[in-house]
Chain A
Amino acid sequence: MASGIKDKVAILGMGCTRFGERWNDGPDELMVEAFRECIEDAGIDKNEIEAAWLGTCFDEVMVGKSALSLSMALRLPNVSVTRVENFCASGTESFRGAVYAVASGACDIALAMGVEKLKDIGYGGLPEFSTAIGTANSLWFPNCTAPGAFAMLASGYAARYGLDIMDVKKSMAHVSVKSHANGSLNEKAHLRKPVTEEQVLNSPMIAFPLGLFDCCGVSDGAACAIVTTPEIARSLGKKDIVSVKALQLALSNGTEIAHKWDGAHFVSTTKASRDAYREAGIRNPREEISMMEVHDCFSITEVVTMEDLHISERGRAPHDILDGFYDLQGRLPCQPDGGLKCFGHPIGASGLRMIYEMYNQLLGRAGSRQIRDPRYGLTHNLGGLPMMNVCSIAIVGRYEQ
């Protein structure tokens, strides 16, 4: 059996831009902003980077095809740079590329960059994707958007557990209230105003039953990481070292959309999280995970994900959420940085933004959001649509060897 990625790779430095409507910055400016913070944190010279990965998702026109945009923006020293795309997992995919490269011994120091410039399209929401779903799918796919496709989960979840959809909506509202409260403490977050449950419940309908405040921010931003081996990190003078404990990816195979599925859970997350816990050596995630950044593209996604991560029991996530279990002061804080909901969601950057928060928390750099003595931080991305999706999970933690 494979030995897994646990403790083979350390994070040497990270950077993340302020997320938001960065009208006056393009992808180049955003990548450079994140990179300057990252390389300063890593304490190395740019020319020591031997390979890089770039994660972007929507609309290749924003950075263009290939990884040239990253290589040119950072004036990298003619090294290997690869562009990866896997919907909302794209940022974590770039991280995976860099981490695996170091772990394999192919290089000592690698860069993972994620960026998305969404606010160049002239309308709200994500870019229209009827041209991005493939030639055959575009002949039959319904006229759907991301909020609509995820909204369907609420109807599936309510039906599965015999709940009134408006009761589910109440726990969804708490998810958003909690993330707004956390986001208000984060100066890099896109949305920084606290909201009340009443405001969330009464926000304008986007896709039944999701209101505006059930939907995450659509933002511009970039985040990046420089990774190396724990030994090199130590040799460079790093004392507190954050290492990668698990990296898992699971994709739908068509079962949900074409065979059997209750519409109340993510098949991919259920599997990827189980594999990630095994890789990290975690037996009881509800007790052992200290904090999480999950893919709350929509409030209902976060509700369901709590169960798929094997932290809330099936059918019990609404209860745990309303109980404050996932609040910043709760037993297992979820979205301490505000989540996609408030930090924002520049798709290619999101996975790395989540790892950035876990990294800062593990190093005690999270300021007023600091979680006491965290050990393991879990990040989770869910790309695509609930009935055909891509799920990535990363677990990072203190390097304790």
Chain B
Amino acid sequence: MVGITAYGGYIPRYRLSRMVIIQNMAWYFPVIMAVAGGEKAVANWDEDSISMAVAAARDCMAGKDRGTLDGVFFASTTMPFADRLNAGIIAAAVNAPEEGLMGADFSACLKAGTTALISALEAVGSGKKGSVLVAASDLRKTRMATLSEMFTGDGAGALLVGSDGVIAKFLGSYSSSYDFVDHYKGYGKDYDYLWEERWVRDEGYGKIIPLAIDGFLKKHGMAIKDFDKVVYPCYYTGTHREIARKLGIDPSRVQDNLHNVCGDTGTAHPLLMLAAALEGARPGDRLLLVGFGQGCDVLGFEATDGIRDFTPARGISGSLAARVDLANYQKYTKFRDLIAADLGIRGEANPNTSLTALWRKRKTILGFMGVRCLKCGTPQFPVQPLCVNPDCGAYGQFEDYPFSDRQGTVAMFTGDLLAPSVDPPAVYGIVEFDGGGRAFVDFTDCDLNGIKVGMPITMSFRKRSKDQARGFTGYFWKAVPKG
């Protein structure tokens, strides 16, 4: 049996109420008032599609052995690198094996997430791959005061595909391909270019999704009534409803498009919605998943008994619940670099990243891998040639010791207003890991006023530096205090 063996997702904690956008920008483009309800998820300033994909992957694979992974597929239209395997960064962050692993990036279309998923399912189905992580993520940067700004949100979904411990059996897929250009983003452009929404809605989503679902049902000899949940994206809520009506799907069987609580996360959205649906699925439930973008991918799944035994670390419901209001619209525009607020001369420093040093230290930097001394048992980070324990000092007799999934506590901290930061103060400190070891790290997703020594923390993979001159994004791990 081939199918999904684990699922997870990530929705960043900041939520921007659409009313806040309206209050700030409706003077400029009143049309946005038509989408006044709900809120959108907004990535923190130190997140991007890769860091969110890592968060989703960790949600999905918490406690699972990464050593058996032989594929990491990443789907996004907002990949930080045009030429450097983005999936490879994710693989390194989750401590996947390097030898025997195929990483692949799927891009250039909002259905790339479902395309990656089909590819993974087919690779495992053919017996050529054993366990493939599929992560889809988008950080949807839009211009201010646009309908795109209202409809989109940031987030990531992740699925583990395999043949051992399947919790949702793969029933088959069907795809269509049309050069229907509802929007596009030219090479090197920052923003999507959109055609008239009435056409996109009626001729795009409204026709292409039902056609593809019909195609799937015909191909597999099934009926729409065979499915307990139908999962398809469409940020026009009216059209989303209309598609169900056209196909004769009972509204209770339609998976919510998350418009009110998150916004459309692009490539990630079908996977994210499926992860939400799987949280409520019972053994025997059948789920139909659709990805849309220059055509459709349609996939059918059936939950197995195993679905009862699996829970993601936090899941979509947990992500949604962990929300914080981003009441300050200007802060959002600075996070997305839509305004030119000055960082000062101190903020101009832009050290080049040494790619040779990054290669040597990749496990430390991307995987937050420490070591444990084989002689005295001391866990330590960062890794240096000699054991840090003054009573030991052994010469490099170490075993790998991953810190990324370890909990810890705050040992000391500060909030620094001198350090250049787009979200001052820069909060950082030393954290002490349960079981030993400590690290001097930036903190994120926190409010200085709430931090206390002794407070628990978890680690999160984040964007650490953005070299605008050379286009390089640096990543490292930060502590998230759990107040």
Residues of B204-233 at the interface with A, using a CB-CB cut-off of 8 Å, are none
A142 to chain B: which residues have CB within 8 Å? 426, 428, 440-442
B349 and A152: CB pair below 8 A? no
* B304 contacts the other chain (CB 8 A): no
Is there a chain A Cβ closer than 8 Å to B468's Cβ? no
- Residues of B within 8 Å of A152, CB to CB, are 412-414, 429-430
| CB-CB under 8 A for A263 and B345, given A144-B416, A156-B411, A208-B448 | no
Query: Do B438 and A140 touch (CB < 8 A)?
Result: no
Tell whether, in the assembled complex, residue B415 and residue A143 are in contact, meaning their CB atoms are under 8 Å apart: no
A207 at the binding interface (Cβ < 8 Å) = yes
B200 within 8 Å of A by Cβ?
no
A207 to chain B: which residues have CB within 8 Å? 414-419, 425
The one of A121, A130, A149 in contact with B345, judged by C-beta atoms closer than 8 angstroms, is A121
Could you say which of A130, A159, A254 contacts B412, with CB atoms under 8 Å apart?
Answer: A159
* B470 interfacial contact with A, CB 8 Å: no
Binary interface encoding of chain B residues 449-483 relative to chain A, with 1 for a CB under 8 A from any of its CBs, else 0: 00001100000000010000000001010000000
Q: A140-B382, A140-B464, A144-B426 are in contact. Are A255 and B390 (CB under 8 A)?
A: yes
B170 in contact (CB, < 8 A): no
CB distance from B150 to the nearest CB of A (A): 33
Q: Are A123 and B346 in contact (CB under 8 A)?
A: yes
CB distance from A332 to the nearest CB of B (A): 28
Within 8 Å by CB of B416, from A128, A136, A147, A259, lies A147
A259 touches B411 (CB 8 A): no
* Chain B residue nearest to A154 in the complex (CB): B414
Question: Contacts A148-B414, A258-B381: A135 and B349 contacting too (C-beta < 8 A)?
Answer: no
* B440 cross-chain contacts in A, Cβ below 8 A: 141-142, 257, 387
Q: Does B435 reach chain A (CB closer than 8 Å)?
A: no
Interface size classification for chain B: 35 or more
| Residue A145 CB within 8 A of the other chain | yes
* Neighbouring B residues of A139 by C-beta, 8 Å: 353-354, 357-358, 361, 365, 474, 476
In the assembly, what is the distance between CA of A190 and CA of B124, in Å? Answer: 72
Flag if A125 contacts B438 (CB, 8 Å): no
Contact with B along A229-272 (1 / 0, CB 8 A): 00000000000000000000000011101111101000000000
Chain A residues whose C-beta falls within 8 Å of the C-beta of B344 in the assembled complex = 123
Residues on the B chain within 8 Å of A210, using CB: 414
Does A64 count as interface, using CB distance less than 8 angstroms? Answer: no
Q: Using a Cβ cutoff of 8 Å, how many contacts connect chains A and B?
A: 136
Using known A-B contacts A139-B361, A155-B413, A259-B388, determine if residue A148 contacts B418 with beta carbons closer than 8 Å. yes
- Min Cβ gap B38→A in Å is 34
A122 within 8 A of B: yes
Instruction: Indicate whether B421 reaches chain A with its CB closer than 8 angstroms.
Output: yes
The smallest C-beta distance from A207 to any residue of chain B, in angstroms, reads 4
User: Which of chain B's residues have a CB closer than 8 A to the CB of A143?
Assistant: 416, 419-421, 426, 428, 442
Binary interface encoding of chain B residues 154-188 relative to chain A, with 1 for a CB under 8 A from any of its CBs, else 0: 00000000000000000000000000000000000
Contact with B along A285-326 (1 / 0, CB 8 A): 000000000000000000000000000000000000000000
**Is A158 positioned at the interface, with any CB of B under 8 Å from its CB?**
yes
B448 pairs with A263, CB closer than 8 A = no
Answer whether residue B328 sits at the interface, using C-beta atoms and an 8 A cutoff.
no
Docked CA distance A151–B414 (Å): 6
Q: A residues within 8 A CB of B311?
A: none
Q: Is A153 on the interface with B (CB-CB < 8 A)?
A: yes
Q: Please tell me if the beta carbons of A263 and B414 are within 8 angstroms of each other in the complex.
A: no
B380 on interface, CB distance cutoff 8 Å = yes
Q: Is the CB of A125 within 8 A of B365?
A: no
Asked if A106 is an interface residue, CB under 8 A from chain B, the answer is: no
- In the assembled complex, how far is the CB of residue B467 from the closest CB belonging to chain A, in whole angstroms? 12
Inter-chain contacts of A260 with B (CB < 8 A) = 438
Extra contacts besides A139-B357, A155-B412, A208-B416 (7): CB < 8 Å: A139-B358, A139-B474, A143-B416, A143-B426, A152-B412, A152-B413, A253-B388
Which are the 9 A-B pairs with shortest beta-carbon distances? A148-B416, A159-B453, A151-B414, A156-B412, A142-B428, A263-B412, A207-B416, A152-B412, A208-B415
Identify the A interface with B (CB < 8 A).
121-123, 125, 128, 130-131, 135-136, 138-145, 147-149, 151-156, 158-159, 205-208, 210, 253-255, 257-261, 263, 387
Q: Please report B residues at the A interface, Cβ cutoff 8 Å.
A: 344-346, 349, 351, 353-354, 357-358, 360-361, 364-365, 378, 380-382, 384, 388-390, 411-421, 425-426, 428-430, 437-442, 448, 453-454, 464, 474, 476
